[in-house]
Amino acid sequence: MTRADRALILDFGGVISRTLFETHDLTEAALGLSPGTLTWRGPFDPATDPLWQDMQADRITERDYWHRRTAEVSALVGQNWTAMADFVRAARGADPDAVIRPEFRAAIAQARAAGIRLAILSNELDLFYGADFRARLPFLAHFDVIVDATHTGVLKPDPAAYRLCLDQLDLPARACVFVDDQPRNIAGAQAAGLQCVQFDVAHPARSYDQALNLLGLTKG
């Protein structure tokens, strides 16, 4: 199998960009909130975030989690946001490129140089970020395939979600490495036959190194 017959498939969310949990200071500044107003920390401090614990236990969905957080922050700033995209636009401002992980940029540069194909498999890219978001992220032009359940209606970990991406890549599952930060999505990908890396938002470089190693690349 040549490298051109392999692909790196990435979730969007915390795999590609710094999470909203990591950028509370930027969000507070953008929204005019006092420092320390936002206390929910998700994967960085699950014990103090019961709503995150509910999501991890499948009592609510990831979309439910963010809808709740959107409503909470909306009330704090006197807005009436009805979509996660409203929150993200307000929090991330006019330059979403500024919160993209440098480890991601380095990894896709190395993969592209080796001829490895690139794909995004997201449950809510346009739903959470807004349809105009992609135009402000030039690196997306380097991706061969973008499958977004905002439009397909097929969410990970449904086996059909992975199949949609593999069909568009025209590659077998064993030729691809899938990276996601949610255990349920990793379990679904493993069941579909994909090689997987569960992304650790606290150690992004380590996670990308693991993915590149699975693709036969060493750290560049």
Domain hosting residue 124, numbered range: 3-17+100-214
Q: Are 35 and 136 within one domain? A: no
The pLDDT tens digits of the residues spanning 122-170 come to: 998 887 777 777 777 889 999 999 999 999 999 999 999 999 999 999 9
Residue of 27 and 2 predicted with greater confidence:
27
Q: Are 110 and 183 within one domain? A: yes
E strand or H helix at 181? none
Query: Number of structural domains, the chain?
Result: 2
Q: Are 122 and 69 within one domain? A: no
Q: Does the pLDDT at position 30 exceed 80? A: yes
Q: Are 53 and 153 within one domain? A: no
* This prediction's pTM: 0.87
- Directed axis angle between helix 183-191 and helix 159-169, to 10°? 60
Q: Does the pLDDT at position 1 exceed 70? A: no
